[in-house]
Chain A
Amino acid sequence: MADFRSGSKKREGEGAVPIDAGRRRLLTGAGALAASGWIAGVAGGWMLRAPFAHAAGPIKMGIATDITGAIAPSGNANWQVAQFAVEKINKGGGINGQPIELYLEDTASDPKIAVGNVRKLIQERKVNVVLGGITSAMRQAIKDPIVNRGRTLYIYPQLYEGQECTKNLYCTGPTPAQQCDELIPYIIKTMGKKRFALPSANYVWPQLLNKYARKVIEANGGTVVFEEYYPLDQAEYSATIGKIRDGKVDCVFNTVIPPGLQPFVKQLYESGFQKNGGVVSCVYYDENLLNYHPAQEMEGLLSCLDYFQAIDDPFSKQLQADYSKKFPGTKFLFTAGSASTGMYRGIKFYETAVKATKGDLKREAVAAAMDGAKLAEGPGGGAEMVPGKMHCKMNMYIAVCKVDAGKTRYEVIKKSNMVDPKEC
């Protein structure tokens, strides 16, 4: 009896171990799948070979952007714009006769995956420059592997909250100063709206943008009625709408982002805010977001960016036409809000710098040439790196959303030349 019992106990014990381990494996497996999204695992690297040879070999340009995951639409637009810009440069004979070879790594909207993939660009591909990253979280994650440990030049293309002053990291998208300095005085002085509400998604970009916006609002004689932060996926905003109504707010300076955005804009519209003369402004709205809300909710919305497709500038128009020709019917548009204009500008800045160094690709030499580099043309006009500041001056445009027969479009109402980024 005793023997039998101890034997059976042993069997139980033996059995328990693998079952437990198996369950644990299953759990971690499911967790990893959920965390990484469905096709992150198959993402390898892509390469676009140089179209012609050169004695010194090609210039290797690395693109690290979000091809998969939550912000894949913006990432794919970035990748297409990079191919487009590089193809144009190569067709014109490259940089000083040296062709550009393009390498892509997917950052998968996930900083954890991104760091490993970016290392591949640096260590295996040995690229001369990396462009990419869209969210600030992504920039923070990949800048160290690129700039510090990787000793490589990094260009960040998206509009963002500012305060990135790392050496050898150049920002080619608009800063809070560029987005607020023209728009807010326009709202206060020209439109006569003085009472601002700052409803925001709870993360770094709205926090820092609001800090700057508040300064500009108060300096121009406006008042901030409330500044409030919400979970990113909040679904119900009646309390906020109540505060807007009770506080007699006449301008909503919105930094709520999807997925919380749609219910907020809908409830705001339903409350009659716009009907009673209120103005909604949202500085990340570009052509991608034109059909984001029903037309009536979009009407009158103000945005401020470095480029709109409606801009009447021959170079920008030609650029847009060429892009449509290369990617006919694409759903990834060449717009400002998705970092595409920053990507184009970044590649052109790099081209200008390497031209100036006469083909010297060493980081220090290129960085020195980037400092103060000038672009005569680009989407929305030229740009100019402010010496020692790693950010660039560019034209900024205020646009309002118009509705014609149910179709939405932007109309540019004010152009400001070479606005200072006021960073670093």
Chain B
Amino acid sequence: MDVGIKIVFDLLAFTSVMVLIVLGLGVIASMMGIFNFAHGEFVLLGAYTLFLFQESGLPSWMGILAAPIVVACVGLVLERLVIRRFYAAPIIAMLGTFALGLVIREIVRGLLGGHYKSISEPLAGTITVAGIDFSVWRTTIIVTALVVIVASYLLLSRTSLGLQIRGALENPALARGCGVSTKRLYAMTFAFGSALAGLAGALIVPLYQLSADIGTRFLVQAFLSVMLGGVGTFEGPVLGAAAVGVMASGLPWLVQPVLADPLVFVIALAIVKLRPQGFISQGRT
């Protein structure tokens, strides 16, 4: 029983990490039709922001709050300068964002001197409930992931801003005709997606290690999640991330760990083959 609860907790914790990372990518892919290959580097920038705060002796919670703001600003600038030129050509956008990601990654690598940095958890230790130890920080990540999902969902489905975003997604020309500035909306959506990536980076980096490649580790699985869940909705990528997260952490219980990694892809690709539109399909087709 204890072991069962522990397994469920571990699966949930890793799934939350996946969901946090995929959320920003999913929002940008679904709402704007752009696959942001620099997403991993936005995650890295969030992690790096927390590192800078800790280095300069500022409290960690400040770093975690600052990370999404800093990365949103970076995202906004990049959108205005570069990304907006790619909206007409999604394939070129992949190459362009890949290049941006490469530049960011190698700059951070230079700043870190190629080292791996250990970031301590803002809330360390474990809490014991009914004789079972739970890591405080993993619990925080699970709770934050839930809060962020619900908040993002409400923002997109219940506010007038969300309505405008969804409108611009369905029919950009009509939205513009109704006086909605799609230019402004796209910039804001991109910044919002970047902010989610920054938050994810700051939250997960204490579990791992800060190195320039922290984002690339998750990038391919994140794309798989978006494909699996389906582009064009908010729920799709979240469900896809949950599926990939459960598979990635659950399969090593059943098979050799070296096999588990490729097996996640095999299963996911098989599902995509059977359901090319993803778990949920709607919106731009």
Contact = CB atoms under 8 A, between A and B. Distances in A.
**Bound pair: A and B?**
yes
A73 B115 contact: yes
Contacts of B266: none
Contacts of B17: 235
Interface in B238-284: 248-250, 252-253, 256-258, 261
Contacts of A271: 133
**From A72, A261, A266, residue with most partner B Cβ within 10 Å:** A266
Interface stretch (A144-152, A215-223, A289-297, A411-419): A289-297
A262 B214 CA distance: 12
Contacts of A292: 116, 118
Contacts of A246: 3
A230 B82 CA distance: 39
A259 B217 contact: yes
Interface stretch (A26-34, A320-328, A336-344): A26-34
Give the interface size class of chain B: 35 or more
A126 B214 CA distance: 41
B10 interface: yes
A283 to B, nearest CB: 19
Given A26-B95, A73-B115, A258-B116, A242 B207 contact: no
B113 A235 contact: no
A240 B14 CA distance: 14
A331 interface: yes
A229 B257 contact: yes
A234 B110 contact: no
Contacts of A360: none
Nearest to A202: B258
B133 A263 contact: no
A380 B126 CA distance: 40
Interface in A182-239: 202, 228-231, 233-239
Contacts of A263: 207-208
A346 B252 CA distance: 43
Nearest to A331: B113
A228 B109 contact: no
Contacts of A296: 124
A296 B120 CA distance: 11
B11 interface: yes
B7 interface: yes
A43 interface: no
Contacts of B115: 73, 331
B258 A229 contact: yes
A338 B268 CA distance: 40
Contact of A272 (B98, B133, B209, B211): B133
B55 interface: no
Nearest to B210: A262
Interface in B90-108: 95, 98-99, 102, 106
B2 to A, nearest CB: 10
B109 A242 contact: no
A238 B249 contact: yes
A259 B214 CA distance: 8
B42 to A, nearest CB: 18
A331 B113 CA distance: 10
Contacts of B261: 231, 234
Interface string A62-81: 00000011101100000000
Interface residues of A, number: 43
A73 B207 contact: no
Given A238-B249, A258-B211, A291 B133 contact: no
Contact of A270 (B11, B126, B217, B258): B126
A270 B133 contact: yes
A4 interface: no
A239 B114 contact: no
B249 to A, nearest CB: 5
Nearest to B9: A238
A230 B258 contact: yes
Contacts of A239: 249-250, 252-253, 257
Given A229-B258, A262-B209, A270-B133, A30 B98 contact: yes
B213 interface: yes
Contacts of B3: 242, 245-246
A234 B99 CA distance: 25
A294 B206 CA distance: 10
B141 to A, nearest CB: 13
A30 B95 contact: yes
Given A73-B115, A239-B253, A259-B217, A33 B207 contact: no
Given A259-B217, A262-B118, A73 B14 contact: no
28 contacts: A30-B102, A34-B102, A38-B106, A69-B114, A72-B114, A228-B257, A229-B257, A231-B261, A233-B217, A234-B257, A235-B217, A238-B6, A238-B7, A238-B10, A238-B11, A240-B257, A242-B7, A258-B211, A259-B213, A262-B116, A262-B209, A270-B126, A270-B133, A270-B135, A272-B133, A292-B116, A293-B118, A294-B120
> What 9 pairs between A and B have smallest CB-CB spacing?
A238-B10, A239-B252, A262-B209, A38-B106, A239-B253, A72-B114, A236-B249, A270-B135, A236-B14
Given A38-B109, A236-B248, 4 more contacts: A236-B10, A237-B252, A263-B208, A271-B133
